[in-house]
Structure 1
Amino acid sequence: MNLLSRRELLVTATRLAALVAWSGGAGADDYPSRPIRLVIPYAAGASGDQIGRPWAERIASLLGPIYVENVGGAGGSVGSAMVAQSAPDGYSLLLGNGSTQVMIPLSSVRPAYDPVRDFRAVYRLITSTLAFVVHPSLPVRDLQELAAYARANPGKLSYGTPGVGTGNHLVGEMFRRRSSVPLDLVHVPYRGMAPATNDLVSGQIPAMIAVVSGHLVQLHRAGKLRMLAVTSQKRLGGAPDIPTVIEAGMPDLGYAGWFGLFAPKATPDAIVYRISAATRAAMADPALQETYRSQGMEPDADSSPEKFQQLVEDELAHLAPVVKAIGLTRD
């Protein structure tokens, strides 16, 4: 037996033990016996809602009632810290992403939680992409023109994100450095992308870096904002007219995002695997898959606690030196 097959055997044995415990073990045999809370760490109406709420609606037939609570603030760290401090009983889950579980902990001087010590991954729901978006009055049509405008108008260009230290902020800093834009490119942190989008549409800010969503694409098509480029490797099926950063001549701005479920660290294996198994069944539903794809996202029908946990730890290791090199820190 080689090393890989031993690992697979160990994982299988762990899952079987957890399922046995769930079916007859104390403390988990009646789970869930009351509604489960899903915390979305952003203001209502943003991309988190378009991911978490469809999952909650679909999973209710498999796990029981789910209620969603939007807890915005500090780029997502307020709601994330709330779940980290919750009882590890499976009744409080976090809809986390690369910002809450990787970027914010790496860039914070005093992080409110540790993504590995305080959480355990349950299931990655979707992968997503970011977009550079501007108000239609800004005289730019692509990323190169945006960079030229910022250089020619020092101090006049600002961009919104869901918070300091988020993946959106990271991409913004990478754009500034890549384009030799002066330090006075102004970053405007919001409590979520919904208020940032409202301010962009109303002309309060000229630009933002946002997670692509169906709502964002609709605003682009209606001419209320202009999407310049997406950070994915390929153009989006739901918005094929928008070029990628690779096509825009800035391949180093590529960024793949994701959203998924997390539980407090000490949550029992039996409960974590119960949620994961139910979510896998839900994600196989073509209707739920189409809901996500219509929003410019790609559903993950083959996640697991082990795969997702490894992804988080790999990204932490990969991005730590990047965050340090560009000096992306927050109080």
Structure 2
Amino acid sequence: MQTNRRDFLQHSAAALSIPSLMGAGLAQAQTQASVEVLKIITGFAAGGTSDTVCRRVADGLRGLYARSALVENRTGAGGQIAITSVKASPADGTVMLQTPASMLTIYPHIYKKLQYDPFKDLVPVSMACTFEFALAVGPAVPASITNVPEFLAWVKANPTNANFGSPAAGSTPHFTAEMLARAGQVSMRHLPYRGTQPAILDLTGGQIASVSGPIGDFLPHLAGGRVRLMGVSGAKRRRFAPQTPTFAEQGLKDVVTDEWFAFYMPAGTPSDIVQRANAALRTALAKPEVIDGLSAMGLEAKSSSQAELLDMQRRDTERWGPIVKAVGFTAD
């Protein structure tokens, strides 16, 4: 799966980097501001990676797809409230959802009754970015603990203090930490939050031992030393945290995960509107200021066609089924 993902992203990047003059002209025609006010909805708190993507892209879309673009944080239920609100929104191009993949590819495996169908209630518009995860510890864990094997040994010796926070129950970082615990043959109590930033606040305050979340969410907190990265989830080290080894490097070769954020519209949105939104997002995500803004949060800007996003959603839904079953977690 990792090889297929890399090939897809590499081929997508190559295709987007060499647009024809005709294609560029068509994109320009399709991305004229045709919406008065665009509302971008995210299910996570302000200050986190999801919120950052929304705000950076909103800046890039103003005057391109919409005259004004606003971000609305509808937190709760691990991102489900945002999705259900978009599902019920007018299908006229004025509302767009930005969501991590987890809510679309993992939740169907852990909830018996979701309030939305990821494939029927939403229309894919474009990918937004890709990223990976890190496990971080705070003051509740002794400073002598510097890597994942040492942390897992500490967990085994301190079961009452063994816990981890994640941005949502059933999210990819939740399952990444569960996979780590299974690989290390330890048990850790999961504490779900409404986004990674609230979890990091408790981490720095010593209320919880560790947090599993996107790499970028931890970067602003590393300088003070109260947040320490134990490992990252990618197949190789990331430029955002080059000194931090991967889980695989530390002997946990099967714990390799990543994720993407993407934009969707309500089902029934006319295809010409979706195409204009896709063209506008591609243009916005190629702007240097957007690329740099996302990079500062550990995110790789990456747009896609509608078909490519739908294919990625299908493949990841199939990929996570066996993993969820092995972990044994259900939300109901």
- With 29-38 and 118-127 compared, the bigger mean Cα shift is at 29-38
Following TM superposition, by how much is the alpha carbon of 1:71 offset from its aligned partner in structure 2, in angstroms?
0.7
- Write the letter of the residue equivalent to 2:192: P
TM-score w.r.t. length of structure 1: 0.87
> Mind listing any 5+ residue stretches in structure 2 that lack a counterpart?
1-22
CA contact (8 A) 2:285 2:291 kept: yes
Distance 2:224 2:63 in 1: 36
SS of residue matched to 1:38: strand
Work out whether 1:202 is the aligned partner of 2:205.
Answer: yes
Give the match for residue 160 of structure 2. 155
Give the match for residue 330 of structure 1. 331
Give the match for residue 175 of structure 1. 180
Residues 227-259 of structure 1: CA deviation (Å, up to 9, x unaligned): 111111222213211111121211211111111
SS of residue matched to 1:37: strand
Aligned CA RMSD, in angstroms, stands at: 2.0
Distance 2:294 2:311 in 1: 24
Following TM superposition, by how much is the alpha carbon of 1:31 offset from its aligned partner in structure 2, in angstroms?
7.2
Residues 258-289 of structure 1: CA deviation (Å, up to 9, x unaligned): 11101112111111110110111112212221
Distance 2:163 2:331 in 1: 18
- 1:126-145 maps to which residues of 2 (within 5 A)? 126-139=129-142, 140-145=145-150
- 1:24-39 maps to which residues of 2 (within 5 A)? 32-39=34-41
CA contact (8 A) 1:83 1:263 kept: yes
- Write the letter of the residue equivalent to 1:315: D
Give the match for residue 44 of structure 1. 46
- Write the letter of the residue equivalent to 2:161: K
TM-score w.r.t. length of structure 2: 0.86
Give the match for residue 275 of structure 1. 277
- 1:3-42 maps to which residues of 2 (within 5 A)? 32-42=34-44
- 1:1-331 maps to which residues of 2 (within 5 A)? 32-64=34-66, 65-139=68-142, 140-182=145-187, 185-213=188-216, 216-301=218-303, 303-331=304-332
SS of residue matched to 2:254: helix
Following TM superposition, by how much is the alpha carbon of 1:321 offset from its aligned partner in structure 2, in angstroms?
2.3
Following TM superposition, by how much is the alpha carbon of 1:137 offset from its aligned partner in structure 2, in angstroms?
4.2
SS of residue matched to 1:251: coil
Distance 2:132 2:63 in 1: 30
- Write the letter of the residue equivalent to 2:116: Y
Give the match for residue 5 of structure 2. none
Distance 2:281 2:88 in 1: 23
How many residues in Structure 1 have an aligned counterpart in Structure 2? 303
Residues 136-181 of structure 1: CA deviation (Å, up to 9, x unaligned): 4412211111111111222321110112111111112111211111
CA contact (8 A) 1:42 1:70 kept: yes
Following TM superposition, by how much is the alpha carbon of 1:75 offset from its aligned partner in structure 2, in angstroms?
1.2
- Write the letter of the residue equivalent to 2:208: I
Distance 1:30 1:138 in 2: 53
- Summarize the Cα distance change of 1:137–1:164 in structure 2 as closer, same or farther, 3 Å threshold: closer
- Summarize the Cα distance change of 1:121–1:226 in structure 2 as closer, same or farther, 3 Å threshold: same
- Write the letter of the residue equivalent to 2:224: A
